[in-house]
Structure 1
Amino acid sequence: MQKTSSTTKLVIFLVVLGLISYLASLYVDWLWFKSVNFQSVFSTILLNKIGLYVFVFLATALLFAFNLRLTRSHMGPVKEPVYDDEEGRVIYLDDEKTPWKDFLRGKSSRWLYLGISLFAAYLVSSVAVDNWIVVQQYINRVPFGTTDPIFSKDLGFYFFNLTFYKFAYGTLMMALILLFITLGSIYLINASTDLLFGNWRQFSFAKGHLATLLAAIFLLKAWGYKLAAYDILFSPAGIVYGATYSDIFARLLSYRILLLLSIIIAAVILANIFVKKFKWILISLGTWVLVAFLMGSVYPSLIQKLVVQPNEFNKEKPYIENAIKYTRQAYSLDRAENREFNIDYNLDISDPSHQSTIDNIRLWDWQPLRTTYKNLQQLRSYYVFDDVDVDRYTVDGKYRQLMLSVREIDQEELPQQAKTWINQRLMYTHGYGLVVSPVTEVAEEGFPQFFVKDIPPRFSTDLKIKRPEIYFGEKTDNYVIVNTEQKEFDYPAGEKNVYTRYEGKDGIKIKSFARRLLFGWVLKDYKMLLSSDISNESQVLMNRNILERVQKVAPYLSYDGDPYVVINDDGKLYWILDAYTGKMNFYIADESDPIIKTYSRIFPQVYQPLTAMPESLRSHLRYPVDMFSIQAQMYRTFHMTDPSVFYNKEDPWLIPNETVEDKQVKMELYYLVMRLPEEEKPEYILMMPFTPKSRANMVGWMCARMDGDNYGKMLVYNFPKQETIYGPEQIESRINQNTEIAQQLSLWDQRGSRVYRGNLLVIPMGNSVLYVEPLYLQAENNRLPELKRVIAAFENKVVMEPSLDTALLKLFGQDQRVESQRTGVVLTPGELPGATVAELAKSAREYYDRANQLLRDGDWAGYGENIKKLNETISRLEEAVKP
C-alpha cells in the first residue's frame, strides 16, 4: 500500500511539473509575441487551439462515456464467490467467471470507464489540435471565382472545404475505430467466445451495440469515398497531372460503387441485429474487399489498355486542354507576356542605350566572392559572411547592381577560452556592418572594388550606414541578454575594443526576479539567476534567426530560401525585416489572391497592403527566386498550348547546362540590370534562357520584372524558329575548343593554380545576344580567388581578356569605344596591339588626367590602376617610336 501511494505521488508530481513547464514556456511565448507587437497572433492561435481541443475532447469523451455506460449497464450483476480454498483463493462455480469479468462489472468499474473515456479523448484531441488552421481556413474561406471542369466546384473548395472535410473524416474515423476496439475488448472479456461463435440470441445487446458501431464506420467510410473521389483532380498517374480519361471513367466510377457498397454493408450489418444472418455480414465484407481490389486496380488498368491506349489522343484531348489551361492559371504562366526577339548581329556596343547593361554585367559569382570577402574583410575569426546577396541601388546618381554580404557574428568561432557565459550571452551579442561591391568592377590583383568595407564602415560612394550592428540575421541562432551592466562588444579598433549598448525596445524586459526565474527555467539557464550584470531593465532577445522569426509569427506561409539585406535610405539595414530591432511587417503583394485574403481574415492585424511599405524599401523588392524557379520549370512544358503539340511532346524546353568550376551543372537564375527590347529605360530583372530538348541552341528566355509598377510581371522572348542562336552549352563548347584559351588554362594548371570557371551569363542587348563568363584563379595553397580573365562571346567569335572592357573592344573591333564604369576612362583602340602613336598618346593623357582626379578624390585603388595603365601605355609608346 505504501509503495502504491509513493508511486501515485511521483506520478502526480511529474504531471504537475510538466504542466508548470508547459505554462511557463507558453507565458514566455506570449511575452515574445507581445514584444514584437504580434500578441493578436498568439491570442488567435492559442484560443483556436484551445477551442478545437476542448470541442474534440468533450465530444470524444461524451461519445465514449455514453457507450461505456450502455456497455456496463448490460453486463449483468456481479455474483459472489461460493467458497475459498485453503490457500485463500477465490473459487467460482461459473467456469466463465474470472477476476477480469468481476472487475468490469464491479462498482469500481465506473472509474475505469471514466479513465478510458478521458484517455481516448486525450488521444483524439491531441491529434486534432494541430489542424486549427484548417478549421479557420474553412470558416474564413474566400472563393476563387473559378470552377474546376470536372465537378464544377469553386477552386476554393479544394483549398479550404475539402481539407476541412478530410480532417473531420479522419477525426471521426479515429474515434469510432478506437471505440469499436474498446467495446469489443470489453464485451469479449465479459462474454468470452459466445460473442463471436454462440447463437445470436445470447448477448444480443453486445452484438447489436457492436453492429451499430460497425455500421457507423462503414457509413463514414462511404463519406470517405465521396471525398476521395475529388482526389482524381490531383492524380499523377495519367498523361498529365490531374484527371484523365481513366480517372473519370474508371476511378471515379469505382469510388461511387464503393460508396454505394459501403452503405449497403452498413444496412446489412444493422439488419442482422434482427434477422441473425451472420454470414451475410461476412459475404458483404468479402464483396467489399474484392470490389475495392478490382475497381481500384484492375478495372482502371483495363480501361487504360483497352479503351484509352488505342485512341489515346482523342480520349485524352479534353483533359490535356484542362491541364494546360489550369496549370498556366495556377502558376500565373497565362499572365506572362510573349514577345518576339527578332535576332540580328548588328550590335553597336557604343550605343548609349546599352551602357547601363554593360556597366552591370555580373563578373563576380557569389561563391568565389564570399571566399574573397572572408579573406579580405572578415577581420576577426568570430565574424562570418554566410551569404552574398545581389540587389540594385542608385549610387552616385547611377543605377547599379551591387553585391552585399553581412558580417554576422558566429559565437562558435570564438576562441575556446573565450566561450564563457558572459561572452556568449551578454558581450558578443551582434555582428557588425557589411561589405558592398559592384558586380562589374575589379580592383588590383583581381579583387573586388569595395563601395563599403572595413570596421567601422568606410565608404567610397554616397551609400551610408548609420546602424551597422547586426542583432538579427541568418546565423544568429542563439538568444542574448542586452542592456546589462556588461558592455556589449561592438567592434575591434586596433589594440582596443569599442563597446556599445542596445538602444532598441523590442526585447523582452526582465523587470523582476520572478521573470528572471521564469527565463532561467524555460531557457534552462540557471546562470541568469546568479548574474549580477542583469538588471530589471535588461532585455532578452530571442528567436533572432530571421527565417525562424517570421515562421514563428506566420508558420503557414512559405518563404523564399534566400533572404537578402537592404541598405535603406535612412542608413539602417533591413532584411525586409529590421536587422537592428527585429521588427516584422507582412505586406500583401497580390491583393486579389484568395489564399492571402483568407489568412487576412484569420489574422486581420497582421497584413498590410504593399502600398504601406516605405518607398525606399519597395524599390528593393526582388521577385522571389524560388517562385520564379518553379514557374520557369513549369513553363518548359506548358508553353505548349496546343493539345496535339503537348501530347506529342514536340517542343519541350530545357534549362541549359553550363560549366562551373569544371563541372556540368544546371544553369542558375540570375539578375540583370538591362534595358529590355521595346522599353525606354534599364530595369532590374530575373531571367532564365531556354533550349529545346533535342538541340543545344537557344529558343527563348523568360524574365520577371521588379521595378515600379512592373513588379511581378513576366515576359517571355521567343527567338525566330528559322534562326540558330547559340545556347549556353554550345558557347561552353566553343570556349573549350578555343586553342588560345585552352593553352592559357593549361599553363595556369601547370603552375599549381586552380582555375575556377564562373557562371556563364546570357545577356540580351538590342536584338543581339552577348555571352560573358568570368575566370578566377586560385592558388592551391591559398583559397583567395582572383578575377583574372573575362571570356566574352558574340556571334561566331570568342575572346578572353584581362577585363570586360578589353574583351568587348576586341570582340567588336576597333571602331567602337566602351565607357568604363570601373575607372571612368574611355577605352579605345589605343589599348590594342598595333595602335597608332597618336592613339597611344591620347590614351596616356587620359590615364594621367584620370589618375590625378582619383588622387584628389582619395580613391587610391583607382589611382593605382590608372598609373599602372599609364606606365604600360608609355612603354608601348616608347616601343612604337623606336627607329
Structure 2
Amino acid sequence: MTIGVLAALVIMFFIFAGLATDYLWYQQLGFTRVIVTQWITGTALFFIGFLGMAVPVYVSIDIAFRFRPVYAKLNSQLDRYQQVIEPLRRTVMLGIPIVLGLFGGIATSSHWSMILQWLNRTPFHKVDPQFHLDIGFYVFSLPFYQGLVGFSSAVVLLSAIAALATSYLYGALRFSGREVRISRVARIQIAVTAAVYIGLQAISLWLDQYATLTDGSNKLLTGATYTDVVAGIPAKQILAYAAAVVAILFIVTAVIGRWRLPIIGTALLIVISLVIGAIYPWIVQRFTVDPSAKSVESSYIEKNIKATRTAYGVSSVKETNYDAKSTASKGALANDATTTENIRIIDPSLVTDAFAQLQQYRQYYAFPDQLDVDRYKIDGKVQDVVIAVRELNQSGLGSSNNPYNSTFVYTHGYGVVAAYGNQRSADGQPVFLESGIPVKGSLGTSKNFEPRIYFGEQGPQYSIVGGNGLNKVELDYPSGNDDNGNNATTTYSGDGGPKLNNTFKKLIYAIKFQSEQIFLSDAVNSKSQILYDRDPSTRVQKVAPYLTLDSDPYPAVVNGRVVWIVDGYTTTDQYPYSAQRSLSTSIADANKAAPAYATDQINYIRNSVKATVDAYSGKVTLYSWDKTDPILQTWQKVFPSTVKPMADMSGTLLSHVRYPEDLFKMQREILGTYHVTDPGSFYNGDDAWTTPNEPTKTSGDTSLQPPYYLTMKLPDQNAAFQLYSTYIPQQTNESNPRNVLTGYLAANSDAGDTKGSISKNYGKLTLLTLPKTDNVPGPGQVQANFNADSTVANVLNILARGDTQVKRGNLLTLPVGGGLLYVQPVYVQSTSDTSYPILQKILVSFGDRIAFEDTLKEALDDLFGGDSGATTGDAGVGTGTSTGEARAPERAREPERGLEPARAQAQARAPDRERARRPRVLL
C-alpha cells in the first residue's frame, strides 16, 4: 500500500511539473488566457463526459440488479456465473461505469475546440442554396449536434448492453427454446432504453440531410446532387419521422407490455430504409441522372462552382486573355524595364552551399536548405533579395558538444545574410548586401541592429541564458583564429523564457528536460532564464491552437530586429457545396515535402492572421489580417485580446508581409479546375489545367514546380512584388502529354509600404489565360528544348565531365514583350567537399528561340536580335568579396579553375550563330 501511494504521488508530481512548466511558458509570453481556457474547458468536458457516460451505465446496471426476480429459477450455468461474480459484484458495478466514464471523459475533452466554437459561434451572413441556413450552422453548429447525438447514442447503447447482461445474469431475461420471458421492470427498462436510442437515430437522420451539403464522396462534386435533392434528402426526412414513430411504439410497449407493435415498426423501418434510402435513389440515379447527367446536374454544378470559388477566396480573380507573341523582335522588352531589371538569377534552393562556404564561418552555424525571397529598400530602390538567418547548429560542435556547452555556452545564432536576387559577381558568386561577423551591410549594423538569433528553426531543445551578467559565458560570435581564441561572449538581456529564480522552478524543469544540470549547476542563478519551444511555428501554434500555419516562416529585418513572419490560416471542411482538397498534397512540391496536418481535408481557407516571432526575445505577436473571417471572429471571442488589429503593424513590418505560399498553392489547385464557371464545360472537363512538374527534375519525378516570388509588371498593371505559377493542360494521355502553357496565375504580394499605407491591390489574383489555339511551350517543354539543343547540350556535357557538375536553377516564366520569357540560371560546382555552386551561364527562351550567354543582359540581347531594350541587374561585374567572400577558403573556388579546359573546348565547338541561328556559347 505504501509503495502504491508513493508511486501515485510521484506520478502526480510529474504530471504537475508538466502543467506548471506549461503555465510558466504561457505566462512569460503573456498568453496565460489561452492555456487556462483550454485547461478549464478540457477539465469541464472531461467531467461532463465522465458523468454523462458513467452515471447512465451505473443507473442501468443498478436498476436491472435492484429489480431482479428474487425467486427466479436459473440454469446451472447462470448459477455458476452468479457465484463467480457475487464476491466482486460491487466492484464490477462501480468499475465498469468508471472505466467507461474515463473513456467518455477523454473522448469528450478532446473536442474542446468544437465546443468552444459552438458556444461562441459567429454567423457568416451567407446562406446555403438548398436549406437557406446560415453557413455558420454547418461550420459551428452541425458538427456539435452530430457529435452530441453520437456520444448520446454510444451512452444509451452501452447502457442497454449493461442492462441486458445484468437482466440475463439474474433471471429477469430468460430464453426457453423459442420463448423469451422478461420481467415487468426489465421490459420497461429495455423498452424505454430502446425508445431513447431509436429517437436519437431519428435526430441523427434529420441532421444527416444537412450533412449532405458537405458530403465529398461524390466524384462529380461536393454537396447535394440531383439524386440527393430528389431522393436522398426526402428519404432521410421520411426515415427520421418513421424512426420517431417507432420510438413512440417502444414507449407504448413499456406501458402496455406488448412487443408486437415495436417489432413490426422496426421491421417496417428497415424495409423503408432499404426501399427509399437505397433502392429509390439508385433508380433515380440510374434512369434519370445517368442518361442526362450534364443537363440534370447543371444547377448543382453551378452551386458547387460558386461555393468553391467563394470558400477558397478566388471568386474575384481577374481573368485576362493573353495572346502571347512567339516572335522575338528588337527592343521588345523596352517597356518591361521594371520586370527585366528584377529578374532573379540567384536560385534560393541552390545557393545554400554558397552561403555556407562564404558566410558560415564555423561548423556550429548553419543555413536552411531552402532560402527565402523578400524585398528591401536599398539606396532608395526596392530590391528583391535572397535572405537567410545564420542559426546555431549544435551538431557541428563535435567533441565540444557536452552538456555544459550545449546548455550554457552555445545558445544562439548570429546575424542575417542577404544577397541581391538579380546580381552576381564576376566569378559567379552572390553579391551580398548584408553579411559578415560582426554584421555589415545595408540591413543593419552592430550599432542599431540586434543580430543575435535565439529563436529560429534550427535552435537547440533548450538553453539557459542570462544570469547576473558578471560572468559572460555565452559565445556571441567567433572573433579569434580558432574556437578557443578570443571569441566574443555575451549575456542574454532579453525576456525570452521563464526565470529559474527558485528551487521549485529548477526542479520542475530538471524533470521536464531530464537534466540534473538545471538543478545542480552553479551556472544557474536567480536571473537565469530557460529558453525552449524556440521554433517560430511551434510558438505561434501553441498561443493560437486554432490556426493552421504556413509551412514556411521567413525572416525579415524590421526596425533593427530580426523577426520571423508566420502566416496563419483558419480552415474548415464544413463549407456547404465547396470542393474538398487535401492540404498536405496541395502544398507539396519540388522544394517542400507534404507535411502532416490534424485536419488535412478542407474546403474553406482564409489567411486570417499574420504572426511575428522576435528572433531575440521570442515575443509572439498576432495580427488580425482578415477581420471579416467568421472563424477568426469566433476565436477572438474565445481568446479575447490575444490578436491585435492590423493597424498596429508598423510600416516596416507591413512592407515585408507577402502573400503566403501555401494559400496560393491551394488556390492554384482549385483554379486549375474552377477557373471554368460554365457548368457544361466543367462537367466535360475539356478545359481542366494542372500545375506542371518541376522541369529540372528527372523524368520519373512528379513533384510540382513551386511558385516563385518576383517583382514584375503584369499586363495593364503597375509593377509589384508577385507570387506566380503556371498551368498546362491536365494530362489525360500519359503516353503523349501536352506541355503547352494554358494559364499564368499571379498574386499581388505587396501589402504596404514603410509609411504604413496598406495596398488595396494586395492579394489580388490575376489569371492570364492563353488562347486554346496557341502552342506556347510550357516549362517542361522549354527545359526539354534547352536539354536537346545540341550546342547547349555539348557545352553542358563538357562542363559536367571530370570533377565538376552542372546544376540547373529555377526556370522562371515572365510575361514580357507581349509574350512569355523563360530564364534559367546555370550553376557549375566542383565535386570536392568544400565547393559550392557558381553561377556561370544564363539560359533564356522566347517563342522557339534560345540564347545561352554569360550574363542576362547578353542573353536577352542575343535572343532579341542584338538589342532587347531590356535593363537588367545582372552585368556580372560585382566584386563579390567586399562582405565576407575574401574569408572563404581558396579551395571553394575550385569550380572556376576546373572550367578552364571546358572553356577552350566550348569555344572551339561553338557554331556560327548568325548562320545556324543557334545560341552563342561563350564560357
TM-score range, shorter chain: 0.7 to 0.9
Letter in 1 for 2:353: T
- Measured in 2, the distance between the counterparts of 1:631 and 1:332 equals 8
RMSD: 3.3
Q: Which secondary structure does the structure 1 equivalent of 2:344 belong to? A: coil
CA distance 1:661–1:60, change in 2 (3 Å): closer
Shift of 1:28: 1.3
Letter in 2 for 1:432: Y
Deviations 1:458-503 (A, max 9, x none): 3267788722211111122501111245611122122322211111
Match of 1:20 among 5, 13, 23: 13
- Measured in 2, the distance between the counterparts of 1:859 and 1:524 equals 42
Deviations 1:726-757 (A, max 9, x none): 33233223323322112112222344532222
Contact 1:396–1:462 (Cα < 8 Å) also in 2: no
Match of 1:797 among 842, 845, 849: 849
Mean alpha-carbon deviation: is it higher for 759-768 or for 348-357? 348-357
Equivalenced residue count is: 817
CA distance 1:53–1:662, change in 2 (3 Å): closer
Mean alpha-carbon deviation: is it higher for 543-552 or for 10-19? 10-19
Partner of 1:446: 428
Contact 1:637–1:652 (Cα < 8 Å) also in 2: yes
- Measured in 2, the distance between the counterparts of 1:281 and 1:529 equals 69
Is residue 2:721 matched to residue 1:684?
Answer: yes
Is residue 2:687 matched to residue 1:671?
Answer: no
Equivalence map 1:396-407=2 (5 Å): 396-407=379-390
Shift of 1:199: 5.9
Contact 2:387–2:419 (Cα < 8 Å) also in 1: yes
Is residue 2:655 matched to residue 1:619?
Answer: yes
CA distance 1:197–1:402, change in 2 (3 Å): farther
Equivalence map 1:235-274=2 (5 Å): 235=215, 236-273=217-254
Letter in 2 for 1:688: S
Is residue 2:191 matched to residue 1:211?
Answer: yes
Shift of 1:286: 5.3
Shift of 1:798: 0.5
- Measured in 1, the distance between the counterparts of 2:766 and 2:828 equals 36
Deviations 1:354-396 (A, max 9, x none): 3332222122222221132233322222222123111111112
Deviations 1:431-462 (A, max 9, x none): 11232111121224322222222322232677
Equivalence map 1:431-830=2 (5 Å): 431-459=413-441, 466-476=449-459, 478-484=461-467, 487-493=473-479, 494-495=481-482, 496=485, 497-575=487-565, 576-663=612-699, 665-680=703-718, 682-693=719-730, 695-707=738-750, 708=752, 709=759, 710-721=761-772, 723-782=774-833, 784-815=836-867, 819=871, 821-822=873-874
- Measured in 2, the distance between the counterparts of 1:512 and 1:462 equals 38
Higher RCO, Cα 8 Å, sep 6+: 2
Contact 2:384–2:420 (Cα < 8 Å) also in 1: yes
CA distance 1:146–1:855, change in 2 (3 Å): closer
Deviations 1:502-526 (A, max 9, x none): 1111310111112211222233222
Match of 2:391 among 408, 413, 420: 408
Match of 1:41 among 30, 34, 46: 34
Partner of 1:173: 153
Partner of 1:341: 322
Q: Which secondary structure does the structure 2 equivalent of 1:122 belong to? A: helix
Shift of 1:292: 4.7
Shift of 1:49: 1.7
- Measured in 2, the distance between the counterparts of 1:93 and 1:640 equals 73
Contact 2:331–2:867 (Cα < 8 Å) also in 1: no
CA distance 1:510–1:131, change in 2 (3 Å): same
Partner of 1:82: none
- Measured in 2, the distance between the counterparts of 1:475 and 1:721 equals 47
Partner of 1:879: none
Is residue 2:142 matched to residue 1:162?
Answer: yes
Letter in 2 for 1:355: A
CA distance 1:519–1:462, change in 2 (3 Å): closer
Contact 1:794–1:811 (Cα < 8 Å) also in 2: yes
Shift of 1:23: 2.1
- Measured in 2, the distance between the counterparts of 1:627 and 1:110 equals 58
- Measured in 2, the distance between the counterparts of 1:231 and 1:312 equals 23
Mean alpha-carbon deviation: is it higher for 10-19 or for 579-588? 10-19
Letter in 2 for 1:314: S
Letter in 2 for 1:25: G
Q: Which secondary structure does the structure 2 equivalent of 1:360 belong to? A: coil
Deviations 1:280-331 (A, max 9, x none): 6666555555655565555433322221111112210110111111111111
Mean alpha-carbon deviation: is it higher for 472-481 or for 248-257? 248-257
Structure that is richer in helix per residue: 1
Partner of 1:364: 346
- Measured in 2, the distance between the counterparts of 1:456 and 1:414 equals 21
Letter in 2 for 1:790: I
Contact 2:330–2:867 (Cα < 8 Å) also in 1: no
Mean alpha-carbon deviation: is it higher for 473-482 or for 186-195? 186-195
CA distance 1:603–1:761, change in 2 (3 Å): same
Match of 1:309 among 285, 290, 294: 290
Equivalence map 1:414-429=2 (5 Å): 414-415=397-398, 417-429=399-411
Shift of 1:350: 8.4
Shift of 1:698: 2.2
Scaled by the length of structure 1, what TM-score is found?
Answer: 0.86
- Measured in 2, the distance between the counterparts of 1:349 and 1:482 equals 60
Letter in 2 for 1:559: L
Mean alpha-carbon deviation: is it higher for 781-790 or for 423-432? 781-790
Q: Which secondary structure does the structure 2 equivalent of 1:223 belong to? A: helix
Deviations 1:628-664 (A, max 9, x none): 1110111111111111211222321222234214446
Deviations 1:600-637 (A, max 9, x none): 11111111221211111111111111111110111111
Is residue 2:152 matched to residue 1:191?
Answer: no
CA distance 1:293–1:427, change in 2 (3 Å): farther
Q: Which secondary structure does the structure 1 equivalent of 2:476 belong to? A: strand
Deviations 1:206-262 (A, max 9, x none): 232122212211211121122222222123314222211122233324423432343
Letter in 2 for 1:728: P
Q: Which secondary structure does the structure 2 equivalent of 1:555 belong to? A: coil
Q: Which secondary structure does the structure 2 equivalent of 1:741 belong to? A: helix
Match of 1:393 among 376, 387, 408: 376
Equivalence map 1:47-126=2 (5 Å): 47-75=40-68, 98=79, 101=82, 112-126=92-106
Contact 2:741–2:776 (Cα < 8 Å) also in 1: yes
Shift of 1:581: 0.8
Contact 1:520–1:528 (Cα < 8 Å) also in 2: yes
CA distance 1:740–1:462, change in 2 (3 Å): farther
Partner of 1:332: 313
Shift of 1:141: 0.9
Deviations 1:668-714 (A, max 9, x none): 2111101232234x210101122334743323311111222122221
CA distance 1:294–1:393, change in 2 (3 Å): farther
- Measured in 1, the distance between the counterparts of 2:157 and 2:307 equals 39
- Measured in 1, the distance between the counterparts of 2:261 and 2:293 equals 42
- Measured in 2, the distance between the counterparts of 1:172 and 1:634 equals 38
Structure 2 gaps, min length 5? 566-611, 732-737, 753-758, 888-892, 898-902, 908-923
Contact 1:215–1:270 (Cα < 8 Å) also in 2: yes
